[in-house]
Amino acid sequence: MVIQVMDKLAIPLMSPFASDREQLCQKLRSIAEETGETSHWNPGPFRLFREYGVFQWFTPKAYGGVEWNDSQILAGYVELAASCLTSTFVLTQRSAAVSRIVKGNNLNLKQRVLPNLSQGDIHATIGISHLTTSHQHHTKPALQARVDTDGLVVRGFSPWVTAAEHADWLVVAASMELEPEQQVMFAVPRQHAGVFVDPPVNLLALSSSRTGSVQFDDCRIPHDCIIDGPNDRIISGGGGKTGGLQTSALALGHAWQSLNFLSAQSQRRESLRPTVASLVSQWQALYQQLIELSADSEGLRLGANQLVMTTTQAAMIAAKGAGFVAGHPVGRWCREALFFLVWSCPQNVANAQLCDLTSAISPLPNHLPIRTTQ
């Protein structure tokens, strides 16, 4: 039984990319197998993204892009994540930064950076988690800004910034010092005075994304680097919103790897076929919601999270002891799936998953004999 779900669902949306799609994905799979267990930065995927025009998906035609629509981009994320989750995750952080610049009103900044971003000549990343999911229990905002005669003065830190040490530009949001409910977003060169990139955190998985904190020590941001604000709509007004569809796309792509593995196993083991058929049906339904840009982003994220955890664990069961040996891809997939429990995960989704975990615990069925020792 060979399941070709990705071919049936993704190709129509990937038409501008279809001719080279499999070639790029195959190269990414090879890189993922080589670097999935390391914490070292690998520039290989980004050379490929540049070669195959992936960076152009996200920018308007006026700045050298191909201006893909949201459904095409999400379909692209699914296929890329099914090949290499880490590099696709880094790509989403780059594209979120690009999206903020595109949607902002700073024309000079757009003309300055978007053409180079579109061609892959420079790299950008984003730091907004301190305003969405991280550090929300702290009374004082992690990163604060105050108005200065020349623009802004920023102090504090952004805790989870991906590939910051390799970025030319950082797109960051901060709370206003005197009015924390007001926020401002700006773009700043990584080597700007007052910007300090901390060493990346050693993560359970995806460490080669080089994710860590960026410190701002009375960093002066000129007016021509301000993207938006101060206002109370910074997070809701553009790409990168917590619980958004991008992370669900990554989860569905990652689930596809395990489904592909289970499908191959089911060709030799008939007992797996009902499980594979059920999981594929769930995947198809969620994928359809994704490319139709479901308004219920949190519901979709919950379903994608549940599916990626189920498919990776099912793959481990199917792989048996071999999957638990260091270096087997199924073990890496299981660790990488945990990423979706913590990254940009809305509290409502986290709460629902906790409820699912507790409700899944049930007593042994009556038909199973209970053995006791005498």
Q: What is the 3-state secondary structure (H, E, C) of 301-323?
A: HHHHHHHHHHHHHHHHHHHHHHH
Angle at the Cα of 362 (from 360 to 364), degrees rounded to 5? 140
Over range 35-44, report the average pLDDT: 80
What span, in angstroms and rounded, lies between the C-alpha atoms of 144 and 156?
6
pLDDT at residue 313, as a whole number = 92
In this predicted structure, the answer to whether residue 240 has a pLDDT above a threshold of 70 is no
Pairing state between β 143-148 and 151-162: antiparallel
Confidence tier at 360 by pLDDT (50, 70, 90): low
In this predicted structure, the answer to whether residue 135 has a pLDDT above a threshold of 60 is no
pLDDT at residue 297, as a whole number = 87
- Is the pTM higher than 0.95? The answer reads no
Range 131-135 contact pairs with CB under 8 angstroms and sequence separation of 24 or more: 131/173, 131/175, 131/183, 131/234, 131/235, 132/235, 132/241, 132/242, 132/344, 133/242, 133/344, 133/345, 133/346, 133/347, 134/159, 134/160, 135/159
pLDDT at residue 19, as a whole number = 60
